Amino acid sequence: MSRKLPLFKMKSIVKSSRVNRAWLNDHVNDPYVKQAQKEGYRARAAYKLKEIDETLHLIRPGHLVVDLGAAPGAWCQYVSRKLMPKTPTLPTTARAGSRIIALDILPMVAIDGVEIIQGDIGDLRVTALLAEQLQGQRADVVLSDMAPNLSGHGAVDAARIESLVELALDFALMHLKPDGALVAKVFHGSSYDDLFRRFQEGFGAVKRIKPKASRDKSAETYLVGLRPQFPHRHRLDGGVSPL
Ligand SMILES: C[S@@+](CC[C@H](N)C(=O)[O-])C[C@H]1O[C@@H](n2cnc3c(N)ncnc32)[C@H](O)[C@@H]1O
Residue 228: enclosing H or E segment and its boundaries? strand 220-228
Ligand 1 center from residue 121 Cα (angstroms): 10
Residues 20 and 124 in one domain: no
- Helices 31-39 and 46-56, packing angle to 10 deg: 90
pLDDT computed for residue 153 by the predictor: 83
List pLDDT tens digits, range 102-124: 999 999 999 999 999 999 999 99
Same domain (yes/no): 70, 106: yes
Asked if residue 64 lies in contact with residue 138, where contact means CB atoms within 8 angstroms, the answer is yes
Q: CB of 123 closer than 6 A to ligand 1?
A: no
Contact predicate 209/225, CB 8 Å: no
Active site residue 15: no
Residues 164 and 152 in one domain: yes
154 assigned to some structural domain: yes
Is the beta carbon of 126 within 6 A of some atom in ligand 1? no
Q: What is the mean pLDDT of residues 149-173?
A: 90
Tell whether 178 is covered by a domain: yes
What is the spatial distance between Cα 187 and Cα 158, in angstroms, rounded to a whole number? 9
Work out how many domains the chain is built from and give that number: 2
Per-residue confidence band for 134, with pLDDT thresholds at 50, 70 and 90 = very high
Q: What is the pTM of this model?
A: 0.86
pLDDT in tens, 170-226: 999 999 999 999 999 999 887 899 999 999 999 999 999 999 999 988 889 999 999
Q: Same domain for 28 and 137?
A: no
Residue 31 CB-density burial (10 A; 0-12 exposed, 13-18 middle, 19+ buried): exposed
Q: Is the pLDDT of residue 243 over 60?
A: no
Shared domain for 167 and 64, answered yes or no, is: yes
Q: Give residue 165's pLDDT.
A: 96
Question: What pLDDT does residue 157 have?
Answer: 83
Residue 136 has pLDDT above 60, yes or no: yes
Cα distances (Å, whole numbers) of residue 59 to 101, 132, 157, 166, 192: 14, 22, 31, 22, 26
Omega of the bond prior to 72 within 30 degrees of 0, cis? Answer: yes
Q: Are residues 127 and 210 in the same domain?
A: yes
Kindly give the residue spans of alpha helices, DSSP state H, lying in 84-224. Answer: 124-133, 154-175, 192-202
The answer on pLDDT for 65 being more than 80 is yes
Residue 176: its H or E element:
strand 176-187
Q: Interior CA angle at 198 toward 49 and 134, to 5°?
A: 55
85 vs 112: CA distance, rounded Å: 10
Domain encompassing residue 31: 7-39
- How far does residue 165's CA lie from ligand 1's centre (Å)? 12
Evaluate whether residue 1 is within a structural domain: no
